[in-house]
A and B are shown apart, each in its own frame.
Chain A
Amino acid sequence: MMMGDFSPYNPSYWALFVEFWQLNDPNAVWVLIGSALLGVSASVIGGFAFLRKRSLMGDALAHAALPGVMTAFILFHANTPILMFLGAVTSSFLGLFLMDWLPKNTKIKPDAAMAITLSFFFALGLMELSYIQGLEVAGKSGLDKILFGQAAAMLPHDIYLLSIVALVVLAMVALFFQKFRLIAFNRSYAKSIGLNIPFYEVLLALLIVMSVVIGLQIVGVVLMAAVLLTPVAAAKFWNQNLSAMLMTAGVIGAISGVLSANISYMAPAMPTGPWMVVVLFILFLVSFLFAPQKGLLSNLAQQRQLRRQVCEENVLRTFYVLNERHPVNQDKAQSNIDLGLAFSEEAILAARGMAISKLKKTVQRLEQKGFLKRTDDVDGLRLTEMGAFLAMTLTRRHRLWESYLTEQLDMDTDKVHHYAEQIEHLLTDEETKQLEQALAQQGKRQDPHGREIPENHGMIANNEGTK
C-alpha cells in the first residue's frame, strides 16, 4: 500500500466511508457485527483479568494459541474455523496451565512464567508455521493472517462462529456475574459460603481463552492483549461500580470494533488489529485525561481548588489570631473580642509564613468573596462580619482538632499543630460536631497551647465557606 491511498484528500476514500455506512454490502455488515461483538465480549471478560491483577494474561494466552492452530492444521490439513478454534483453545489452556504451574512448583516468579509461556508457545507456533510453509498442502495461505489479524479477509462462516462465541461469553458473564464478582473481590468469603471456586475459575479462564481466540482473526496474536486490557483500564476512570465499569468497557470495545471494521473496509490492505489498538488507545487517553471525577485534568483542578482553599482558610485563621493577640482584646472574654481590627499585609506575613505573591492572590480572592475588606485610611485589611464569623468557625475547628489529637490520641503538644494544619481543611461539619461532643465530656475549653476555643456561634457549612 502506498501512502497516496490513505490521503484524506482522496475522494474515493470518503466515498468508501459513505458506502460502508449505507450498510448495503452484506459482507461489510457481517464484519461490522463481528468486530463490535468481539470488542464487547473481550472488553467485558478482560475486566475480570484486570481485577485479578493479571492484565497481561491475555497477551500470553493469545501467543499461546498459535501452536494450537498450527498443530490442528498439521494434523488435519484443513483450515476450517471450528478446527482452528478448538486447536487454539486447547493450546491456550495448556499455556494457562504452564503459567500457573511454574510459579507454584519452582522458584520462577509469575512475571517470568508469563514471559516464558508467551515466548515459548509463540516460538513453537512460528516454527510450525515455517514448517507448514515448506509443505506442499493446500489451504495454508490464511494461516499467517492470525499474527496480525485481517478483518476484511474474514468469510461469513468465520464471523458466524465469532458471533456465536462472543454471545456465549456475554451470556455466561451475565449469568454468573455475582459469583465472578464475589470470587474477584472476596475470595475467602466466597470460600466460606461453599462456592465451588475451582469450577468458576476454570469457567472464567475458559471464557477468557475463548474471547482471546475469536479475537485472533480480527486483531491478531500480537495485539490481542490490548483489546482485553485497554477498555477496562479506560473504563476505570469513569466508574467505581463493577457492573457499570464492565458496561463502559463493553461500549469502548464496541466503538473500537466498529471503527476498525470501518477502517478495514476503506483500506483492506491495512492491518485491522493495529488500528483497533490505536483507536482503543485514543479512547483510553480521552478517559484518562477528561473523565469527570477520576480523570487527570479533573484531579489537577481538584488539587488546585484544595490548595486555594487551604490558603484562604489559613489567612482567615491568621486574622483571628492577630485580632485575639491585639492589646484591645487583651482582657476580654473569647466571646466578646473585637474581630474588626485592621492589619497590614506585613503583619499577616509575620504571623504566617507564606509567599507574598500567594498572600496577595489569596487576599484578593477573599476580598471578592466578601470575607475581607480594605480599610480606607492606612494600607490595611480587616475582616468583614461574614469573614469574622468564618474565621471564628475555622479557628474553633482547628483548636478542637488539636485538643482531640492531644487528649484522645496522646500526641505530643509540639507536634499537633503540624498535624492539625494538614487535616483540618478536610474536616466536615459533622466531624467537627463529633469532636466537640468528644471533648465536651471532659469539659475542655482550651486548646493544647492554652488558648481558648471560640464558642460555637451556630455552624455554617464551613466547606462551602471558602470554596
Chain B
Amino acid sequence: MISDVWIIATASLVAISCSMVGVFLVLRRMSLLGDAISHSVLLGIVLAYLIAGSRSVVAMMIGATLIGLLTAWLSNALHRVSKIQTDASIGIIFTWFFALGVILISVYAGQVDLDQECVLYGEIAFVPFDTVIWGEQELGPRALWIIGGVFLVNLILIVLAFERFKLVAFHPALALSLGVSVSFWHYLLMTMVSLTTVASFDAVGAILVVALLVIPASSAYLLASSLKSMLWMAAGYAQVSVLLGYAMAVWLDSSIAASIAVMAGVLLIVTVLLLQWKKQWRGSQVKEAMLDGKLQ
C-alpha cells in the first residue's frame, strides 16, 4: 500500500515535470528535438556509468545533460553546415547516439547495471525498493528525491524567468531585436529537457518520456488561451494520466509507465473528439439560427 503511494508520487512528479518543459517544446515547435534528446541521453548515462564506475546520480545528471546539449548543438550545426533539413539532421544525430549507447551497453553488459529493456520501460515498480537512508531514518525512494529536485529546478526557472520564456516562445524575432539571447534560452530549455529526461529515466524509461513531454502539453495547447493556463492544464492532464494509467496497469497487469503514456494519449484523443463534436454542434446551431432568420 505504502509502495503504491511512493510509485504514484514519483510518477506524478515525473509527469508534471515533463509536461511543464513539454509546453515550451510544443510552443516552439521543437517536439522532435525533445524526442531526440530523450533518446540520446542514454549515451550520456552509459558513459557516466563507465567513467564514474557507479550509479552516481551526479555523474548521470552531468553525462546526460552534456550529451543532451550536444545533441541539440550538433543537429543544429549539421543543419547549418550541410544544409540538410532540420528534422533530418536531428534524426541522423540522435539515432547515432542511441545506437552507440545500446552498443556500449552490450559490450559492457555485466559491468553496468543497465539493460536494453530498462532503456525502454524504466521500472517504476522497483522505485520504492531503492530508498535514501539518512542516518537511521528512511527518507523514501531515491528516484522520488531526484525527480523532486528536478521538478523544483524546473519550477523555479519557469517562475523566475516566466516573461523571458514567454517572449522567446511566442516572439523569437522580437526577443532577438530586444537583445535577448535566444540561443541562451534555447540551450537552457534543452538543459531542462535533458535533466528532466534523465531524472525520469528510472521511472518511465528514455522513450516513454517523449509521451509525457509532448502529449499532455498538446492536450493543453488545444484548450488553453494563455501560457499560464496552458502550463496549469498540462500539469492537470499529466496528473490525471498518472492516476488513470496506474489503475489500468493494475487492472491489466501491464507496464505502469506504458499505461500512463497510453492514458495521456487517450485523454488527448478524448479532448480532440470533444472539440470536433463541439465544432460540429456549433456549426449546426449557427445553421439553425440562420434558417430561423435570427442571424441576418
Contacts and interface: CB of A to CB of B under 8 A. Distances in A.
Contacts of A278: 96, 99-100, 103
Contacts of B95: 223, 225-226, 229-230, 277, 281
B11 interface: no
Given A1-B106, A115-B34, A270-B103, A123 B208 contact: yes
Nearest to B252: A131
A124 B258 CA distance: 7
Question: How large, as a class, is the contact surface on chain B?
Answer: 35 or more
A120 B221 contact: no
Interface in A69-100: none
Interface hub of B84, B110, B259 (most chain A Cβ within 10 A): B84
Contacts of B215: 116, 119-120
B222 interface: yes
Contacts of A269: 106
B29 A226 contact: no
Interface string B93-127: 00110111011001111110000110011000000
Contact of B29 (A111, A288, A296): A111
Given A112-B26, A115-B34, A275-B103, A126 B258 contact: yes
Contacts of A6: 107
B275 interface: yes
A166 interface: no
Interface in B264-278: 264-265, 268, 272, 275-276
Interface string B255-295: 10111011011001000100110000000000000000000
Interface in A1-47: 1-3, 6
A1 B120 contact: no
Interface in A163-186: none
Contacts of B257: 123, 126
Interface string A125-148: 011111100100000000010011
A116 B259 CA distance: 15
B186 to A, nearest CB: 16
A317 interface: no
B255 A116 contact: no
Nearest to A5: B107
A50 to B, nearest CB: 6
Contacts of A114: 31-32
A53 B87 contact: yes
Contact of A124 (B84, B111, B116, B262): B262
Interface hub of B102, B208, B221, B252 (most chain A Cβ within 10 A): B102
Nearest to A53: B85
Contacts of B29: 109, 111-112
A48 interface: no
B207 A230 contact: no
Contacts of B96: 226, 277-278, 281
A108 B276 contact: no
Interface string B5-20: 0000000000000000
Interface hub of B30, B87, B215, B257 (most chain A Cβ within 10 A): B87
A148 B119 CA distance: 11
Interface in A205-243: 222-223, 225-226, 229-230, 233, 236-237
B138 interface: no
B211 to A, nearest CB: 4
Interface hub of A3, A107, A127, A223 (most chain B Cβ within 10 A): A127
Nearest to A130: B255
A126 B265 CA distance: 14
Given A6-B107, A274-B99, A127 B272 contact: no
Contacts of A118: 35, 210
Nearest to A236: B84
A359 B99 CA distance: 50
Contacts of A288: 82
A230 B92 contact: yes
B51 to A, nearest CB: 16
Contacts of B222: 106-108
A134 B100 CA distance: 31
B218 interface: yes
A116 B295 CA distance: 40
Contacts of B221: 107-108, 112
B259 to A, nearest CB: 5
A281 B99 CA distance: 10
Given A127-B262, A147-B120, A222-B39, A274 B100 contact: yes
Nearest to B36: A56
B91 A119 contact: no
B243 interface: no
Contact of B208 (A112, A122, A296): A122
A130 B272 contact: no
B214 interface: yes
B163 interface: no
Given A123-B265, A131-B252, A222-B98, A271 B218 contact: no
B26 to A, nearest CB: 5
A387 interface: no
A464 B119 CA distance: 59
A416 B102 CA distance: 59
Interface hub of A2, A130, A281 (most chain B Cβ within 10 A): A130
B212 to A, nearest CB: 8
Nearest to A125: B258
B54 interface: no
B211 A274 contact: no
Interface in A243-302: 269-271, 273-275, 277-278, 281, 284, 288, 296
A59 B208 contact: no
Interface of A: 1-3, 6, 50, 53-56, 59, 102, 105-109, 111-112, 114-116, 118-120, 122-124, 126-131, 134, 144, 147-148, 222-223, 225-226, 229-230, 233, 236-237, 269-271, 273-275, 277-278, 281, 284, 288, 296
Interface of B: 26, 29-32, 34-35, 39, 81-82, 84-85, 87-88, 90-92, 95-96, 98-100, 102-103, 106-111, 116-117, 120-121, 207-208, 210-211, 213-215, 218, 221-222, 249, 252-255, 257-259, 261-262, 264-265, 268, 272, 275-276
Interface pairs A-B: 5 shortest CB-CB: A123-B261, A120-B265, A119-B211, A226-B95, A274-B99
7 contacts: A2-B109, A2-B110, A115-B213, A124-B258, A126-B257, A274-B106, A278-B99
